[in-house]
């Protein structure tokens, strides 16, 4: 059977499974909608947390980033994995002991202020919409390539699927759907890795294969280093980033991870604090399976790409290349007219993406109008490396289709978690806690479902009509979370003297500073049409790492302001003392 047929079969089976779970796990109360009733087992919650955490960025983009960045790509592995450890040790048990539904709920009650709650809601919406836009676009790309439908139609299909299991079941439906999605995405990620590792190194375990020998007796990494240097690239195993920027990016990803509201809320779905600890440990194990495999896939795919396309005649290039060329995620410009693909160091394009013309070249290639004057003729979008890798390695069609189903599972699971955060921020933290405290449980549940419907429509519009900067800032959602939430949460747990004035000032200063830097140095919307060059970065810090500086500024502002203003009430200080002892916690409460 063709890849197209296999994809329809596997996607159809997995989507049917998701719909069945959504119908079975319908939410009948706000507690079921917000925290799945608070009785999810640690094993199920660990798998759901892993699926919630491993978005399209982890499944599709991370190995692609590492394949192009080499050693420098390790910042994503260290930051995202380290951040989860930080979350599990420093935040999850204490927030579970506090026993509230959402992060804004914690901040509102801990800082005895609806103003603090509102600022937290705004921060949650900014972080979540920034993150979810990329998930919806990722869904559209996968549908477009593997199911041969328009990208916008793919986004609409993805919106519909998320709407069904999130609208019906809320956190209860999402939790059990994410258990199934974890099984799908991890199977889809590992099977091609086993195949390709065996094919290239003779070792079925990819983590070992990455350090193994290839045909001819050379080590795979040595071979890749040689390929890189021959083409003018920096050695794959050498880094180019400064030590400071590596540290800043890693720390920003770590504290950003620990501040992501859609991950934190998962720890409110288990019965006890010890269950939160267990599910955090299990989730780390489930996440590690993918995260330790991603560097191996990066090495395999990078080696296969170079060997497959470099110095090859375009007319003889494999069909996978031309299939992906039609998506606009890979492009070739025959600058020297020899009909061969010259892949060397340098930018192939004068812009970030290829601008295609209606004409075809003499070799049958899609012509682009924005080729640069540099020698490199090949543009490759990093996001295709995981998706195209099985095709490049000539794996069976069912394996190629499986990767598509896994990519959809990863994107949809995270999108659902983010949309639930948006929904609860509006229905619970704004309507229930501030605008209409007397609203009934049934009325709040209706408001939550209406909120999630509106949120899905907005997220879909971001996917269909992405602003020019959305793709650039999705990864920076972590910086936004680091700059806004992390200091307010960590100081709220460990600093009794932290008051509402300090927390509000810190969150506002942190997120405004991070937004300014992102827009100024990543998207170029303030003052100029183009993003400012790396030579103008503050303290040599990239936009991806600036969350560290914004977080430090947040902490300093919070501590200084809190010391210059009245201390929190005595009952709040006692409450802080109590939540530091993570035992004997009752059920999560909305009151």
DSSP letters spanning 428-447: IIIIIIII-TT--HHHHHHH
User: Per-residue pLDDT for 527 more than 50?
Assistant: no
- If asked whether residues 374 and 420 sit together in one domain, one would say no
Average pLDDT of the segment spanning 165-187: 79
Q: What is the pLDDT of residue 564?
A: 93
How is residue 108 written in tokens?
Answer: 């509102």
Q: Would you state the pLDDT for residue 467?
A: 56
For residue 471, what pLDDT is reported?
Answer: 46
Same domain, yes or no, for 120 and 203? yes
Using DSSP bridges, classify how beta strands 330-332 and 356-360 pair: parallel, antiparallel or unpaired: unpaired
Question: Where does a domain end: 450, 466, 482?
Answer: 466
Average pLDDT, stretch 15-28? 77
| Same domain membership, residue 167 and residue 142 | yes
Of the candidate ranges 105-109, 380-384, 551-555, the one whose mean pLDDT is the lowest = 380-384
Residue 525: pLDDT above 60? Answer: no
Q: Are 391 and 402 in contact (CB under 8 A)?
A: no
Residues 318 and 357 in one domain: yes
User: Mean pLDDT over all residues of the chain?
Assistant: 81
Q: Could you tell me if 331 and 229 lie in one domain?
A: no
Characterize 388-418 residue by residue with b for buried, 16 or more Cβ atoms within 10 angstroms of its Cβ, and e for exposed.
bbbbbbebebbbbbbbbbbbbbbbbbbbbbb
pLDDT higher than 90, residue 502:
yes
Task: Decide which of 470 and 252 is more confident.
Answer: 252
Pair (202, 336) in one structural domain: no
| Each residue's pLDDT tens digit, 119-145 | 988 888 888 877 777 677 777 777 776
Asked whether 517 and 538 are in contact (CB, 8 A), the reply is: yes
Split at pLDDT 50, 70, 90, the class of 345 is confident
Is the model's pLDDT at 497 over the cut of 50? yes
Q: What is the pLDDT of residue 113?
A: 87
Say how far residue 346 (Cα) sits from the centre of its chain: 28
- Residue 270 is predicted with a pLDDT of 80
* Same domain for 350 and 462: no
Q: Give the lowest-confidence range in 65-69, 177-181, 206-210, 471-475.
A: 471-475
205, 197 Cβ separation under 8 angstroms: yes
| pLDDT bucket at 548, cuts 50 / 70 / 90 | very high
For residues 298 and 341, state if they share a domain.
no
Are 545 and 245 spatial neighbours (Cβ–Cβ below 8 Å)? yes
Q: Which domain holds residue 328?
A: 313-385
Rounded distance between C-alpha atoms, residue 24 and residue 531, angstroms:
49
Residue 20 lies in a domain: yes
Q: Are 51 and 182 in contact (CB under 8 A)?
A: yes
Q: Average pLDDT in the 519-530 region?
A: 59
**379/431 same-domain check:** no
What's the structural domain count of the chain? 2
Residue 576 lies in a domain: no
Is residue 188 within 8 Å of residue 58, measured between CB atoms?
no
Length of the chain: 591
Strand partners, 313: 340
pLDDT of residue 389: 83
- Cβ–Cβ < 8 Å for 439, 106: no
Q: Mean pLDDT throughout 563-570?
A: 92
Contact 501, 168 (CB under 8 A): no
pLDDT band at 466 (very low <50, low <70, confident <90, very high): low
Give residue for tokens 């290829």: 354
Domain presence at residue 521: no
Q: Dihedral sign, CA of 346, 352, 356, 357?
A: negative
Q: What is the mean pLDDT of residues 369-393?
A: 84
216-240 mean pLDDT: 87
Q: In which band, very low, low, confident or very high, does the pLDDT at 538 lie, cut at 50, 70 and 90?
A: confident
Residue 173 within a domain: yes
Give pLDDT, residue 6: 86
* In a shared domain, residues 365 and 328: yes
For 277-309, how does the pLDDT look when each residue is reduced to its tens digit (9 = 90+)?
788 888 888 988 988 998 999 999 899 888 888
Reduced to 3 states (helix: H, G, I; strand: E, B; else coil), residue 54 is coil
Q: What is the pLDDT of residue 310?
A: 84
The whole-angstrom separation of Cα 464 and Cα 38 is 35
Q: Which residues of 181-207 are buried (b: 16+ CB within 10 A; e: fewer)?
A: bbebbbebbbbbbbbbbeebbebeebe
Q: Is residue 341 in some structural domain? A: yes
Helix (H, G, I), strand (E, B) or coil at 356: strand
Q: Is 465 exposed, middle or buried (0-12, 13-18, 19+ CB in 10 A)?
A: exposed
At 555 the pLDDT is 95
User: Residues 78-83: what's their mean pLDDT?
Assistant: 83
Q: Does residue 583 form part of some domain?
A: no
Q: Would you say residue 560 lies in a domain?
A: no
Across 340-347, average pLDDT: 87
Q: Reduce the DSSP state of residue 221 to 3 states and report it.
A: helix
> Residue 550: pLDDT band by 50, 70, 90 thresholds?
very high
- Which of 357, 385, 413 lies at the terminal end of a domain, its last residue? 385
Position 430 scores a pLDDT of 81
Looking at residue 470, what is its pLDDT? 46
Residue 413 pLDDT > 80: no
Helices (H), 147-272: 151-201, 206-209, 220-230, 243-258, 261-264
82 in a domain, yes or no? yes
Closest CA to 521 of 508, 506, 537: 537
| Same domain membership, residue 75 and residue 150 | yes
Give the rounded percent of residues in the chain with a pLDDT score beyond 90. 10
Q: Indicate if 37 and 186 belong to the same structural domain.
A: yes
Q: Give the per-residue pLDDT at 34.
A: 66
Question: Which residue, of 466, 485, 505, is where some domain finishes?
Answer: 466
CATH number of domain containing 437: 1.20.1730.10
């Amino acid at each position: 059977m063709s890849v197209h047929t296999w994809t329809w079969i596997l996607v159809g089976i997995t989507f049917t499974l998701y719909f069945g779970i959504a119908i079975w796990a319908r939410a009948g109360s706000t507690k079921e909608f917000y925290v799945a009733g608070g009785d999810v087992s640690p094993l199920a919650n660990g798998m759901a947390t892993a699926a919630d955490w491993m978005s399209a960025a982890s499944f599709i983009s991370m190995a692609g980033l590492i394949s192009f960045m080499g050693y420098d790509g390790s910042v994503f592995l260290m930051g995202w994995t380290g951040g989860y450890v930080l979350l599990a040790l420093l935040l999850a048990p204490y927030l579970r002991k506090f026993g509230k539904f959402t992060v804004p709920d914690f901040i509102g009650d801990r800082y005895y202020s609806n103003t603090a709650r509102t600022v937290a809601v705004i921060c949650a919406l900014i972080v979540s919409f920034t993150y979810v836009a990329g998930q919806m676009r990722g869904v559209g790309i996968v549908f477009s390539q593997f199911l041969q439908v328009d990208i916008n139609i793919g986004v609409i299909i993805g919106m519909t699927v998320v709407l069904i299991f999130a609208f019906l079941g809320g956190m209860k439906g999402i939790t059990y759907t994410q258990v199934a999605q974890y099984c799908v995405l991890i199977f889809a990620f590992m099977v091609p890795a086993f195949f390709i590792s065996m094919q290239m190194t003779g070792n079925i375990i990819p983590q070992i294969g990455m350090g193994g020998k290839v045909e001819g007796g050379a080590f795979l990494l040595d071979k890749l280093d040689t390929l890189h240097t021959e083409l003018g690239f920096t050695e794959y195993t050498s880094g180019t980033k400064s030590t400071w920027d590596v540290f800043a990016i890693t720390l920003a990803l770590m504290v950003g991870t620990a501040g992501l509201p859609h991950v934190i809320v998962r720890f409110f779905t288990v019965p006890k604090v010890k269950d939160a600890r267990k599910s955090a440990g299990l989730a780390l194990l489930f996440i590690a399976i993918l995260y330790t495999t991603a560097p191996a896939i990066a090495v395999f795919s990078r080696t296969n790409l170079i060997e497959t396309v470099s110095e090859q005649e375009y007319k003889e290039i494999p069909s996978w290349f031309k299939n992906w060329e039609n998506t606009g995620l890979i492009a070739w410009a025959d600058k020297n007219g020899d009909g061969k693909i010259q892949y060397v160091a340098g930018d192939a394009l004068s812009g970030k993406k290829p601008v295609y013309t209606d004409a075809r070249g003499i070799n049958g290639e899609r012509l682009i109008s924005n080729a640069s004057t540099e020698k490199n003729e090949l543009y490759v979008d990093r996001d295709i490396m995981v998706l195209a890798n099985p095709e490049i390695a000539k794996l069976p069609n069912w394996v190629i289709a499986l990767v598509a189903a896994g990519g959809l599972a990863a994107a949809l699971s995270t999108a659902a978690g983010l949309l639930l955060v948006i929904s609860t921020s509006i229905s619970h933290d704004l309507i229930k806690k501030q605008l209409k405290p007397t609203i009934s449980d049934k009325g709040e549940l209706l408001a939550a479902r209406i909120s999630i419907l509106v949120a899905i429509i907005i997220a879909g519009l971001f996917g269909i009509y992405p602003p020019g900067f959305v793709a650039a800032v999705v990864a920076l959602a972590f910086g936004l979370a680091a700059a806004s939430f992390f200091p307010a949460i960590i100081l709220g747990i460990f600093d009794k003297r932290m008051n509402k004035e300090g927390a509000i000032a810190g969150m506002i200063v942190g997120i405004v500073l991070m937004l300014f830097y992102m827009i100024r140095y990543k998207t170029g919307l303030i003052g100029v049409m183009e993003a400012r060059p790396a030579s103008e970065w503050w303290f040599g810090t990239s936009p991806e790492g600036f969350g560290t500086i914004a977080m430090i500024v947040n902490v300093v502002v919070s501590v200084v302001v809190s010391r210059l203003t009245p201390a929190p009430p005595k009952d709040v200080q006692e409450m802080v003392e109590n939540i530091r002892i993570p035992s004997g916690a009752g059920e999560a409460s909305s009151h």
